[in-house]
């Protein structure tokens, strides 16, 4: 069966520090991979998605970037965090165009 791992679960970082969140999927190949952000009590905003290694689509201009160095690995990064980067970051995968998304457990990021 397929599983998705996301870490760390929580992170507190100072403003101006770098960020690296990692997500890996097991039990499938060539998945579509996604990063979403959720502000407190609000909906999910799509940040990036990838349909293959090295292929990244950005949905919202911002202080973040994403990379997919391996088929089942998706990384969210920032060179310098802003206060506004605080939020709940969710990684997700799906197989094929019309299939549902499956989410990781999320990373709670607090920028201080």
Partner 1 sequence: GQQLNQSPQSMFIQEGEDVSMNCTSSSIFNTWLWYKQDPGEGPVLLIALYKAGELTSNGRLTAQFGITRKDSFLNISASIPSDVGIYFCAGPNSGGYQKVTFGTGTKLQVIP
Q: Which residue has the tokens 């939020």?
A: 87
d(CA 32, CA 112): 32
Q: Are 80 and 18 a contacting pair, CB within 8 Å?
A: yes
Site for partner 1 contains 57 (CB under 8 A): yes
Q: How far is CA 39 from CA 53, 108, 110, in A?
A: 28, 10, 11
Region binding partner 1 by CB under 8 A among candidate stretches 13-21, 35-43, 61-69, 78-86: 35-43
Name the residue nearer to partner 1 (CB basis): 75 or 104. Answer: 104
98 binds partner 1 (CB under 8 A): yes
Question: Is 60 near partner 1 (CB under 8 A)?
Answer: no
56 binds partner 1 (CB under 8 A): no
CA–CA separation, 41 vs 19, rounded Å?
23
Question: Does 39 help bind partner 1 (rule: CB under 8 A)?
Answer: no
45-68 in b/e form (b: 16+ CB < 10 A) is eebbbbeeeeebeeeeeeebebbb
User: Which region, judged by CB under 8 A, interacts with partner 1, from 14-22, 34-42, 61-69, 70-78?
Assistant: 34-42
Interface with partner 1 (CB under 8 A): 6, 32, 34, 36, 41-44, 46, 49, 51, 57, 59, 90, 92, 94, 97-98, 100-106, 108
């Amino acid at each position: 069966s397929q599983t998705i791992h996301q870490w760390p679960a929580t992170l507190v970082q100072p403003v101006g520090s770098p960020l690296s969140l990692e997500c890996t999927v097991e039990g499938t190949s060539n998945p579509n991979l996604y990063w979403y952000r959720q502000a407190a009590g609000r909906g999910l905003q799509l940040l990036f998605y990838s349909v293959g290694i090295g292929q990244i689509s950005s949905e919202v201009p911002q202080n973040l970037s994403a990379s997919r160095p391996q088929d089942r690995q998706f990384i969210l990064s920032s060179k310098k965090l802003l206060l506004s980067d605080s939020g709940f970051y969710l990684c997700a995968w799906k197989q094929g165009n019309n299939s549902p998304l499956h989410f990781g457990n999320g990373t709670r990021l607090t920028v201080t």
